[in-house]
Structure 1
């Protein structure tokens, strides 16, 4: 008998509109990503509505930061009631340790240029004991949101025990392929630009269709 595939966590990242966030939340996803990177078109503070009022969701909120001062991260997480931070830049081990000591759950993103290789694994090792999860994303100058994927065949080179989310260019057409991925450390998928009507506004019907295709039963 074929082993039933374990359901992966689903994170939808880059939301910055209250109604859109509420509709995505109704789909039963696990995490919602709020991007606090000023150069991103999905920068959450571009929306005064979200800046002024915390939007309640069943999904847990993840604050996405790029090379942000840890004290600023703490302040924003307190303001938006965010328990999880995703660090997407060149944050040091010391910075990660500090945020952990303040009671935050920390995820660390690593950019994959084309393939996962030994140099990347070596860099990741320093963060294993400090991070809850890793994010494997396509390396870009914009720190994500490129709509491009890296070579998923190279996931076989990922030998660390740290659970990871797969990110970077995942689209509706990838649902069947994701069903066939079999890696013991793969714990979730991160959806972003391929599910948008415009930057920061997700297509709710498209996300729903993807989830139905990924888990038809």
Structure 2
């Protein structure tokens, strides 16, 4: 099971998350309490292993600005969390993760034609597009409608519920931000526990 820790804003947390087994580290460049400065993101990315995904989160940003930031900080993937068009997605030079707030399976089926390799299912919208810590009813998701997408599950995940979420959805990756925080700050113990729980759930299936 692949794991993304999102909303990283300092070098120590980013490096430790990777050491604990995170497969992807997310950096928020949209309006958010976890928005990170470009120079800080670059400093963190410079310390991460090459194989770890470096994901930049954007909301309705121009393609030119996304490309500029991606090149400067060293991103490997782009996460689009707004109303970005298919044409805009196709214009980007890096792999795209299209994030949506889950509404229904009809909407999911429509996204099969969206030109992104990855599709991220998030909880309901809050003050910000993502990272609100709100889950949705995973039982409602019909993963069969997503024929060609690598599904990333987000929204309200934490060390206590990630195993059950994985068993229900069987996603390509799980994504957490607020669920590994204490008082709004990333908690290394929670990150370590989340990664351990997520990894062990897949090991149980393999046995």
**What is the match of residue 110 of structure 1?**
100
In structure 2, relative to structure 1, the CA distance for the partners of 1:44 and 1:10 (3 Å cut) is same
Unmatched runs of 5 consecutive residues or more in structure 1: 1-7
In structure 2, relative to structure 1, the CA distance for the partners of 1:182 and 1:66 (3 Å cut) is closer
**What is the match of residue 190 of structure 2?**
206
More helix by share: 2
Segment drifting more, 18-27 vs 8-17 = 18-27
**What is the match of residue 5 of structure 1?**
none
**Cα displacement string for residues 49-69 of structure 1 (whole angstroms, at most 9, x for unaligned residues):** 446675321222000100000
In structure 2, relative to structure 1, the CA distance for the partners of 1:157 and 1:51 (3 Å cut) is closer
**What is the match of residue 181 of structure 2?**
196
Decide whether the 8 Å contact of 1:178 with 1:214 is kept in 2.
no
Segment drifting more, 80-89 vs 148-157 = 148-157
Query: What is the alpha-carbon distance in structure 2 between the residues aligned to residue 139 and residue 29 of structure 1?
Result: 25
Query: Which TM-score applies when normalising by structure 1?
Result: 0.83
Query: What is the alpha-carbon distance in structure 2 between the residues aligned to residue 11 and residue 53 of structure 1?
Result: 15
In structure 2, relative to structure 1, the CA distance for the partners of 1:60 and 1:52 (3 Å cut) is closer
**What is the match of residue 3 of structure 1?**
none
**What is the match of residue 83 of structure 1?**
76
Decide whether the 8 Å contact of 1:12 with 1:191 is kept in 2.
yes
Decide whether the 8 Å contact of 1:31 with 1:60 is kept in 2.
yes
What is the CA-CA distance between 1:158 and the residue it aligns to? 4.9
Moved runs in structure 1, 4+ residues, more than 6 A? none
Give the alignment partner of residue 116 of structure 2, picking from 131, 152, 168: 131
Larger Rg: 1
In structure 2, relative to structure 1, the CA distance for the partners of 1:179 and 1:50 (3 Å cut) is closer
Structural mapping, 1:1-217, within 5 Å? 8-37=1-30, 39-45=31-37, 49-50=40-41, 54-58=45-49, 59-99=52-92, 102=93, 104-113=94-103, 116-118=104-106, 120-127=107-114, 130-141=115-126, 142-156=128-142, 158-161=144-147, 162-181=149-168, 183=170, 186-199=171-184, 201-216=185-200
**Cα displacement string for residues 161-206 of structure 1 (whole angstroms, at most 9, x for unaligned residues):** 11210000101110331352254xx21100110111344x421111
Unmatched runs of 5 consecutive residues or more in structure 2: none
In structure 2, relative to structure 1, the CA distance for the partners of 1:54 and 1:25 (3 Å cut) is closer
Aligned length: 197
